[in-house]
Amino acid sequence: MNYSELTLRYFDTAVGVGVLTGLDVYRGSAGSRAQGAWVQFDVQVNAGLVQAARFLAFGCPHTIAVSAWVAEQGVGPVSTAALPCSVQELSDRFAVPVEKRGRLLIVEDAWVAAVAGALQR
């Protein structure tokens, strides 16, 4: 399978992989290994600001690359439980094949679950 340069860069470097701990850390996950994709985000949120984000992911290179990108780009002010950009934009940015769009929804669900936890605090 051919991957975009951006996909390979984030897949290879996987910046932001890991977990966070602390009272101000919120965790969200979605998918399952049996489904072929599982993603977990930890976000450290204070005063409406995502100060740090980490991810773990099991899945295809697109799943890993997009998760890494979201963990990187998601740092900053947060007011709603939403991805830094839409799933469609992620799909375009990473040249995700249409049959894999469902994997991006798993990334979105995991991120939204983590951030929503923080916002509902």
Partner 1 sequence: MNRPVYLDYAATTPVDPRVAAAMAQCLGLEGEFGNPGSASHDYGAAAHALVETARAQVAACAGASPDEVVWTSGATEANNLAIFGVAHYYREQGRHIVTARTEHKAVLDPCRELERRGWRVTYLTPDSAGLIHPDQVAAALRADTVLTSIMHVNNETGVVQDISAIAAVCAQHGGARLHVDAAQSIGKSALDFAALGADLMSLSAHKVYGPKGAGALLVSRRARGAPVHLTALQFGGGQERGLRAGTVATHQVVGMGLAFELARTAPPSESDRIAVMRERLWKGLAALGGTYRNGDPAHSVPHVLSVSFEGVEGESLLAAVRGRLAVSTGSACNSTSREPSYVLRALGRDPILSESSLRFGLGRFTGEGDIDTAIAVVAEAVSRLRRLSGLPG
Chain contacts with partner 1 (rule: CB under 8 A): 1, 3, 8, 11, 14, 17, 19, 33-34, 36-38, 40, 56-61, 64
Q: How far is the CB of 83 from partner 1 (least distance, A)?
A: 20
Rounded to whole angstroms, how far apart are CA atoms 52 and 20?
8
**Which residue, 2 or 120, is less far from partner 1 as judged by CB?**
2
Query: How many angstroms separate the CA atoms of 29 and 55, rounded?
Result: 9
If the CB atoms of residues 55 and 108 are measured against partner 1, the closer one turns out to be 55
From the CB of 47, what's the least distance to partner 1, in Å? 29
Angle of the 5-13 helix axis to the 61-73 helix axis, nearest 10: 80
Cβ 17 to partner 1 shortest distance, Å: 6
